[in-house]
Amino acid sequence: MRIIERYLLRLFLAPLCYCIFIFLSLYIIMDLFSRLDEIIAVRAGVLPVVIFYLASLPGMLVQVLPMALLISTMYTLGNLARHNEIIAFRASGISVWETLKPFVIAGVFISLMTVVVNDRIVPAAAAICVKIREEKLERKKDGASPGRMIKNVALYGAGNRIIYARIYDPKVKTLKDIVIHEHDRHQNIISKTTAKEAKWTKAGWAGFNISTYKLDEQGQIKGDPLFEHRNILPIEEKPEDFQNQKYNIEALNLSELKSYIKRFSGASGNVLQGLRVEAYTRLSYPFSNLIAVLIGAAFSLTAKRRGGRLMGVGMGLLIGLLFYGVFAVSIALGKGGILPAPVAAWSANLVFGACGMYLINRF
């Protein structure tokens, strides 16, 4: 690495660390104050709260990194432009992309590291957070029965089964539009059971209008299906399991999520589409860090043409917020089935990345 590259990288990393520290601190303080009444009410103690927020840090870091990179990029390049150092670089024969090389390399490296953290560390940490929240921070609410119905309930069931219900009504402990997939030890679907409705009884989940199909290795129906008006469904889970929804996407890594999608195929188009979008987002969102670097660089370099450095910073932050908005809308459209999952997850990155590169090339 050349001296100038080390110089630029050192200038860039200092504000990046400050931004990360400030954003994480604000994130924790705001979340803590929003939970403070609840924490005091359940007398959770200091240690569970500390462990909860330590386990929350990886997920928080993934969320705040893009904005931290955006601001630190704009701050660093803005200072260089203010002291005419970028003009001096160009006068010395150093192109704009050579100047930005340390920033881009840092963006790529952070993006790749975020992919690993998002896949390996965040799910495990999220599982710890859920456990502490349920056992320590919300234990007074155990057994409470909220009035709202829960839509699209999906969880792993005993006996290597995946259970899906379009609606769970906790008031009357009723499942509606149920699909049960049973798998063998090789994760092949060996049977599919559907029921229009199921009610919780002392004997278990009493289902109505039940259809049971046996499937071969190719997923084709073998033999005659079994139709029953009423019988006990092969569901060992209790109402509280559906109310708490043990299945939690955040606690699955990417390979587990893909396995779940494969095993759960055919159960519900809406649920599967949401899972596919989530899987693609696990890969696309970390690269918003690189996009943040490109956006920050583009608007910092063109600040003088657009009314000064402050105007450039303001426009850059506006574009950054706009990126988050477009990303959120595209994800929502993807989960709603309007956009294909890959398009929903990657469209914001591609559009804003291309805009950033275009503006940099015009400098």
Tens of pLDDT, residue by residue over 15-24, are 999 989 999 9
Asked whether the predicted pLDDT for residue 244 surpasses 70, the reply is no
- The pLDDT of 129-148, averaged and rounded, is 62
Q: Is the same domain home to 25 and 111?
A: yes
Q: Is the same domain home to 221 and 346?
A: no
Q: Which of 81-95, 125-139, 341-355 has the highest mean pLDDT?
A: 341-355
Tens of pLDDT, residue by residue over 252-272, are 788 877 876 776 555 455 667
Structural domain includes residue 285? yes
Taking the C-alpha atoms of residue 164 and residue 162, their distance in angstroms, rounded to an integer, is 7
Q: Is the same domain home to 212 and 316?
A: no
Tens of pLDDT, residue by residue over 41-96, are 888 788 889 999 999 999 999 999 998 999 889 888 888 887 888 888 888 888 88
Q: Is the same domain home to 22 and 170?
A: no
Alpha-carbon distances of 155 from 68, 131, 175, 219, rounded to whole Å: 36, 16, 13, 21
pLDDT score of 325: 92
pLDDT score of 249: 66
Q: Is the same domain home to 31 and 88?
A: yes
pTM beyond 0.75? no
Q: Which domain holds residue 202?
A: 159-236
Q: Is the same domain home to 62 and 125?
A: yes
- The pLDDT of 146-173, averaged and rounded, is 79
For the sheet containing 189-201, what is the strand order? 150-157, 161-169, 174-183, 189-201, 204-214, 226-232
Taking the C-alpha atoms of residue 261 and residue 160, their distance in angstroms, rounded to an integer, is 15
Q: Is the same domain home to 128 and 179?
A: no
Structural domain includes residue 258? no
> CA quadruple 113, 320, 353, 343: dihedral positive or negative?
positive
Q: Is the same domain home to 224 and 284?
A: no
Q: Is the same domain home to 123 and 27?
A: yes
Query: What percent of the chain is predicted at pLDDT more than 70?
Result: 87
- Residue 90: what are its φ and ψ, rounded to 5°? -70, -35
Range scoring the smallest mean pLDDT among 81-85, 294-298, 324-328, 331-335 = 81-85
Q: Is the same domain home to 77 and 117?
A: yes
Asked whether the predicted pLDDT for residue 241 surpasses 90, the reply is no
- Tell me the pairing of strands 174-183 and 161-169: antiparallel
Query: What percent of the chain is predicted at pLDDT more than 90?
Result: 36
CATH number for position 176: 2.60.450.10
